[in-house]
Amino acid sequence: VKATVAFIGLGNMGLPMATRLISGGHSVVGFDLSEEAQEKLAEAGGLPVATARDAVPAAQIVILMLPNSAIVETVLLRDGVADKVQEGAVVVDMSSSEPLATRELANVLRERHAVDLVDAPVSGGVKGAVNGTLTIMAGGREDALAKVTAALAVLGRVTRVGDVGAGHALKALNNLLSATHLLATSEAMLAGQLFGLDPQLMLSVLNSSSGRSGSTENKWPNFILPQTYDSGFGLRLMVKDMKIATGLCQQLGLPSPLGEGSVRLWEEAAEHLPATADHTEIARWLSDKS
């Protein structure tokens, strides 16, 4: 069954995701603060509207792909989107938001607006968004998730990982791992090159050895060695995700010395790099710092 989807947040990830939904036969009504993003939605066959509120009245599914929890809350509660959601529609926060904030937001939406919230953050980057190969980590009530699974399946593989907030918790932990792998890989690549090893050769051997990760398989060969640094995932967004994960550890009373150390280095990099830096520029920063 084809749905009308409201899509709010048409950035690096949101625009290609909305485009896939359109290609999959869904009607997409979208909003972004950026005029350029609005124009691109129209080019892709979607309908841009003047405010976030205007996007939702006809939608069975309301997808948010925004920078963080604070903005998700503002859009839903202060900008009045939640007031306009039709009965029985489901709100899906696909942003990488804070799990505990998501739980509270879900309660507010249920009690004040009779609306279900599903969290469904993603991994797989801009490439995964373009190709519909994202890993989608969903949290929320099974009946609510069931209403949106067919549409989400156009974007990637959906796994329900628990109740509302569970997807956001897993996503933050994934990114803490991913960021820490990237930092560790960058240190090792730097040391190897200083010793005289060829970086291409290093990667090809590491990729059939136990030190491999998404950083050796994807980030180093595709964005760092070619010096393009154009993964489409901002360094500041990565730092946000890492802090969500270490914050969660603190809330759970669990020490995370490795994660904390990794966050400190990434924050230092964020201070020194331009606001628009790609997260893969951590490798360049580390090399310059050394």
Catalytic residues: 171
The yes or no reply on residue 233 touching ligand NAD (CB under 6 A) is: yes
Under rule CB under 6 A, residue 223 binds ligand NAD: no
- DSSP, residue by residue, 135-195: EEEEES-HHHHHHHHHHHTTTEEEEEEESTTHHHHHHHHHHHHHHHHHHHHHHHHHHHHHH
**Residue 287 has which token pair?**
């090399």
Contacting range for ligand NAD; rule: CB under 6 A; set: 59-67, 160-168, 179-187, 268-276: 59-67
Which of 34, 131, 200, 204 is in the footprint of ligand NAD by CB under 6 A? 34
Stretch that binds ligand NAD, among 33-41, 103-111, 176-184, 197-205 (CB under 6 A): 33-41
Candidate ranges 20-28, 105-113, 117-125, 153-161; the one touching ligand NAD (CB under 6 A):
117-125
- Cβ–Cβ < 8 Å for 180, 258: yes
By beta-carbon proximity to ligand NAD, the closer residue of 97 and 186 is 97
Q: Which residues have C-beta within 8 Å of that of residue 83, sequence separation ≥ 6?
A: 53, 113
Strand duo 134-139 + 122-123: pairing: antiparallel
The minimum distance between CB 192 and ligand NAD, in angstroms, equals: 27
The nearest distance, CB 182 to ligand NAD, in angstroms, is 13
Which residue, 145 or 242, is less far from ligand NAD as judged by CB?
242
Distances (CA, A) of 26 to 52, 135, 153: 19, 20, 12
Residue 99 near ligand NAD by CB under 6 A:
no
Closest CA to 93 of 175, 28, 169, 22: 169
> Taking CA 49 as the corner, what is the angle to CA 66 and CA 109, rounded to the nearest 5 degrees?
50
Question: Min. distance of Cβ 122 from ligand NAD in angstroms?
Answer: 5
Q: Which residues bind ligand NAD (CB under 6 A)?
A: 8-14, 31-34, 37, 52, 65-68, 71, 74-75, 95-96, 122-123, 125-126, 232-233, 237, 241
